[in-house]
Amino acid sequence: MDIKEKAELAASLKKEGRCNCCQAVTAVMADDLGVSADTMMKLSSGFAVGMGTMENTCGALIGAALAAGLKCEGKATVRVTREMSVKFKERCGSVICRELKGIGTGQVLCPCEECVRNAVLIYGECFPSS
């Protein structure tokens, strides 16, 4: 599956309510990361819940950052996640998920499916061979 197909699959998983934003992003990255989809779902569920307490964090972006950290084995994670955050904000207009505490901040809130799709595409831009 190429990155565009993965992005569409992730958006579909979210739209169907089969998983949260973070899980949708990481589930489609599992094969690229050498981790089972089940493991990624469990790992990203806990990670997203912990990070979700931050008012300026989107679950989809968290998933992409988690996948990036695994992909580069912790090396350059800060640089890559900063780059992803900038690209995500440029593409989505926001990094706040409407399902989190970002409601009421006055910032633009993006539709979750679109955020999930964009997070996967941005991951693909940072790791083109994925």
Q: pLDDT of 50-95, one tens digit each?
A: 554 445 567 788 888 888 888 888 787 888 888 988 888 888 766 5
8 to 24, 36, 43, 108: CA distances (angstroms)? 10, 20, 22, 23
Mean pLDDT of the chain: 78
Q: Is the pLDDT of residue 9 over 90?
A: yes
pLDDT at 15: 86
| Cβ–Cβ < 8 Å for 126, 84 | yes
| Cβ–Cβ < 8 Å for 125, 87 | yes
Cβ neighbour number for residue 127 with a 10 Å cutoff: 17
Per mean pLDDT, which range of 7-11, 22-26, 41-45 is the poorest? Answer: 41-45
Q: Is the pLDDT of residue 14 over 80?
A: yes
pLDDT at 103: 54
pLDDT at 90: 84
